[in-house]
A and B are shown apart, each in its own frame.
Chain A
Amino acid sequence: AQSVTQLGSHVSVSEGALVLLRCNYSSSVPPYLFWYVQYPNQGLQLLLKYTSAATLVKGINGFEAEFKKSETSFHLTKPSAHMSDAAEYFCAASNTGFQKLVFGTGTRLLVSP
């Protein structure tokens, strides 16, 4: 069965520093991959998704993620963190034949001045 692992329940960075949030999937067949962000008291908002068209995917708010099949990874990055990036980030995967999303445990990003 598909599973998604997010390393680090909390990641702290300083404003202006690189953001790196890690996501690994377990599947012999590369899945479709998604990053969602959740701000306090809001729903999950799609940041970006990988659907096999390109391995480097650009999303909203300056985020991007690179699909690496050899590492079964889909890490999320942003060159320079802003205070407004503080939120919880979820990596999710889906596979052909299924509609459901399988989520990781989430990573809370803390940004300090």
Chain B
Amino acid sequence: EPEVTQTPSHQVTQMGQEVILRCVPISNHLYFYWYRQILGQKVEFLVSFYNNEISEKSEIFDDQFSVERPDGSNFTLKIRSTKLEDSAMYFCASSEGTGPQETQYFGPGTRLLVL
């Protein structure tokens, strides 16, 4: 069964460093998402992406964050200068179509620790 994959599974970085989290969505999906979960808190929406553009973003997704689809298979989340509060589990998701009824398929997550 097709699945969303994410690399790395864990990343440790120093505060102020740039990190890139990578995702490979399901191959025929056109809509891509990033969510994060700070330890002990809710899973929060960060951004959605379609046709090489951001289609929706939350207030969390500030200028420190960017997303990109550099090729036909990868979808990346870049944090330009990491802060301690960026430590979280980051989930990538994809869906075949758009709309609130569409199922979003999630990857296993990347656990980011900022020291």
Chain A residues with CB under 8 Å of chain B are: 31-32, 34, 36, 41-46, 49, 51, 90, 92, 94-106
Contact = CB atoms under 8 A, between A and B. Distances in A.
A105 B43 CA distance: 7
Contacts of B98: 99
A42 B61 CA distance: 25
Interface residues of B, number: 29
Interface of B: 3-4, 6, 9, 31, 33, 35, 41-45, 48, 55-56, 58, 91, 93, 98-101, 103-109
A113 B43 CA distance: 30
Secondary structure at the A interface, as helix, strand, loop or mixed, is loop
8 contacts: A43-B105, A43-B107, A44-B106, A46-B103, A49-B103, A94-B101, A95-B100, A103-B42
